[in-house]
Structure 1
Amino acid sequence: MAAGARQCLLTVALAAAWISGAAAAPSSAEQAGRSQKSINCMPCSRTYIGDAYVYTLTDQLAHHRDLAELSDSSELCKGLTDDVQVPTLSELHRQLVGEGSHRRLVYSVKFGACQDAMVNFLGGYDAHLVIIEKLPNGVFADPFELQHFVERKVFLDVAVFGDTNLELPSALSNRSAVEIHFDLRPNTLTNCNIVIDLPLHARYPPLDASGYATVEFGSPDILLRYRKKEIHSDSCLWVLKNLEATPVEKAAWQIPCGDEAHIGFVSSITFLSALVCSISIVLAALIF
C-alpha cells in the first residue's frame, strides 16, 4: 500500500513537471521572438521609418505594424549585428513645456555606461537617434517650422506624416505623427545625455462647458539607426534597434476652448460688428 502511494506521488510529480515545462516553453519562445524583433534592417534608399508604419490616423488610437515587418527577410540583417556593442538607453524623460496654444515637448535621453563604448561605436558607425511621436487629435506639428530646425542643424532630418493641414479645427482634422532624426556624434552628446525640443501647436477644439479640452500623449517609439562607415551604396543597409524605452511620464495638455452657452451672445456681437462695419464702408464710399 505504501508502494502504491509512492507510485501515485511520483506520477503526480512527473505530471506537474511536464505541465510546468509546457507552460515555460511558449514563454521562452516569446522572449526569443521579442529579442529578434528588437533589431531589423532597412535599405538606405528609404529615408524615413514612419512611412513603413500603417497608421490609423482617425479619432481612434493609432496602430502600426511591428518593427520586425519593416523588412521581408531576416537574411537582410545577417552578419550586420554580430559582435557590435550597441549603446543602450538608461533613462528617458519627456515633459510638456510652455503655456497657451504653442508648447514644446522636451525629451531627455540618456545612454548607459557610454563614455568609452559610445566613442568606440561612433568611430566605426554612422548612427542616428530616431524618435517617432504619435500626436493626439487636436495637436499638430508645423512641417515648415521643423524644416528650419533642420536648416539650423538642430535635427538631422524630420518628417510629419498624416494630416498636415494646419488650418483645420480639431473636429475636422485627423491625427499625425512626427519622426525626428538626431545625429549621434561625440560633440552632440553631453555626458551621454541628449535634450531634444519638439515645437507643437493646438488646433481649435470643440466647444465644451468646462472651458478646456484635455489631450494626452502616448509613449513615443525610440530607435537607434546605424550603418558601417565607408560602405558601398549598392549594399547600403541601415540597422534598426528598438531601444525599448519604458513608458514615459504622461503628458497632458489642457487646451482652452469656447463655452457652448456663450454661442448666442458671441454670434450676436459678431453679427452687429460686421453690420456696423459694412454700413460704415458703404457710407464712406457714398460720401467720398
Structure 2
Amino acid sequence: MGSKRGRSVIAATFIFFAISCLNSISTTQVGTSMLDSDTFCISDQYIMKSYFTTQSSLNESEFRSFLRLQRCSENIPYEKDVPAVATLQHREVAGEGSHRHLLTTIGLRQSHLHELVIVERLPLGVFADPFELQSLQQRRAFSDVSVFGDTDLEQPSFRSNRSVVEIHVEINGNGEISVKLPLHARYQPIGESGYSRVEFVEPDLFLCSRYVPDQEHEQRRCLVLSVGRSKTQTRSVVWDIPAGIRSHTEYVSVITFVAAVLSAFSILVASVLSSKVESCKNTKEL
C-alpha cells in the first residue's frame, strides 16, 4: 500500500514538473522565430510585397516557408556577435465606436540594424485605411507603411479576406517603440449576441537594414525576432464589434416594409395634389 502511494506521489511530481517546463517554454520573450534560420534577405522595400508576388492570400505556414527560402548572398555583411532582443510590453485596442486604435509598445535592444518592421495580420472583420496610413506617414508617425491583401474597404466581413499591414519604424539604439495603428470595423454578420468578437494575434517582428530606393535589386538583410505566435504574452487583445441580432430581423423587415409603403403612398398623394393645384391655376388664368 505504501509503495503504491509512493509511486503516485512520484508520478504527480513528474507531471507537475512537465507542465511547469511547458509553461516556461510558452512564455519566453519575443525572440524565438519558429524558423530554421534567424536571418533572410529581400530585394523589395516591403517583406509582404515579396510574399504576395507568389501568393494570393496570407497563410502562416506558407509565410514561414517563404522566409526560409529567402537566403542571403555570401557577400552581404552580417554582425553575428551583436544580439537583438525585442519584448512586446503592452498591447490593447483603444477608442470607441467602429473606429479604434491598436496600440503596441515594444522594448528593443540592438545596435547594428536600422529599421524595425512590424507585420500586423488583421483578423476578419477589421481593416486599415491605406489613405489614412499614408497621411500618418506624411506626419512621420511611421517611416513607411503599406497594406496588403484585401484592401476593398466596402466589402462586409463575410465577403472579405484578411489584410496585412506592414509598418516600418526607424530605430536608434535601445529603448521603447510605440505604434498606434488606426483600424475600422466592417459590417458584421448577424448573430445571436449582438456582437462579433475579433481577436488580434501577436505581430511578426523583424529588424532590417535600411532600404535604398535607387538600388532596387540590392538585397538587404533582415533579422527574425518573432513569427507565428498566436496570442500575446500579456493577455488576449479582442474587439467586440456590434452586429445585428438574428431575432430582430423579422421586426426590422416589417418596419422597413411599412416605411417603404407609407413613403410610396405619400409620394403618390403629393403628386396627385400637386397636379390638381397646377390644373386649378391654369383654369383661373383662362
**Same fold at TM > 0.5:** yes
**Structure 1 match to 2:108:** 111
SS in 2 for 1:233: coil
**SS state of the match for residue 165, structure 1?**
coil
2:37 is the counterpart of 1:37: yes
Following the alignment from structure 1 to structure 2, what is the Cα–Cα distance between the partners of residues 232 and 258? Answer: 51
Query: Corresponding residue for 1:172?
Result: 159
What is the match of residue 69 of structure 1?
68
Structure 1 position 233, deviation (Å): 3.0
The Cα offsets for residues 229-260 of structure 1, whole Å up to 9 and x where unpaired, read as 9x983773311111237752321111111111
Counterpart of 1:53 (choices 51, 54, 75) is: 51
Aligned pair in 2 of structure 1 residues 270, 213: CA closer, same or farther (>3 Å)?
Answer: same
Residue 38 of structure 1 aligns with an amino acid whose one-letter code is D
Q: Secondary structure at the match of 1:243?
A: strand
- 8 Å contact from structure 2 (residues 42, 50) kept in 1: no
Partner of 1:97: 94
Matched residue, 1:260 = 246
Structure 1 residues 232 and 175, CA gap change in structure 2 (3 angstroms): closer
Match of 1:287 in 2: 273
Amino acid at match of 1:213: S
- Structure 2 CA distance, aligned partners of 1:232 and 1:167? 36
Q: CA deviation at 1:221?
A: 0.3
Q: How many angstroms does 1:82 deviate by? A: 3.2
How far apart in 2 are the matches of 1:228 and 1:163?
25
Per-residue displacement from partner, 1:105-143 (whole Å, max 9, x unpaired)? 11101113x6xxx4xx4xxx6x22111111111111111
Q: Is contact 1:41-1:77 (8 Å) kept?
A: no
Contact 1:53–1:64 under 8 Å retained in 2 = no
**What is the CA–CA distance in structure 2 between the aligned matches of 1:152 and 1:217, rounded to whole Å?**
26
Runs of 5+ in structure 2 lacking a partner?
1-32, 275-286
Aligned AA for 2:100? R
Distance 1:234 1:199 in 2: 30
Where 1:64 maps in the other structure, the secondary structure is helix
2:224 equivalent to 1:224: no
Structure 2 partner of 1:137: 124
- 1:27-85 per-residue CA deviation (whole Å, 9 max, x = no partner) reads xxxxxx97862111112xx1210123366748xx75433263352x44x1544113563
Equivalent residue for 1:154, pick from 125, 141, 144: 141
Does the residue aligned with 1:53 lie in a helix, a strand or coil? Answer: helix
The aligned residue for residue 195 of structure 2 is 212
Deviation at 1:228, TM superposition (A): 9.0
Give the TM-score normalised by the residue count of structure 1.
Answer: 0.71
CA shift, 1:153, in A, is: 1.5
TM-score computed with the length of structure 2 as normaliser: 0.71
Q: Residue 77 of structure 2 aligns to a residue in which SS?
A: coil
**8 Å CA contact retained: 2:194, 2:243:** yes
- CA distance in structure 2 between the partners assigned to 1:183 and 1:91 by the alignment: 17
Instruction: State the partner residue of 1:13.
Output: none
- Secondary structure at the aligned position of 2:182 is classed as strand
Give yes or no for contact 2:36–2:68 (8 Å, CA) kept in 1: no
1:240 to 217, 222, 233: 222
Q: CA deviation at 1:87?
A: 4.0
Structure 1 distance, partners of 2:119, 2:161, is: 17
- Does the residue aligned with 2:226 lie in a helix, a strand or coil? coil
Question: Secondary structure of 2:93's partner?
Answer: strand
CA-based RMSD of the aligned residues comes to 3.0
Moved more, 237-246 or 78-87: 78-87
State the percentage of identical aligned residues.
Answer: 37
**How far, CA to CA, are the matches of 1:218 and 1:240 in structure 2?**
22
| C-alpha contact (below 8 Å) 1:42/1:70 kept by paired residues | no
Aligned partners of 2:94 and 2:100 also within 8 Å: yes
Letter in 1 for 2:202: S
Alpha carbons of structure 1 residues 90 and 137: separation in structure 2 relative to 1, 3 Å: closer
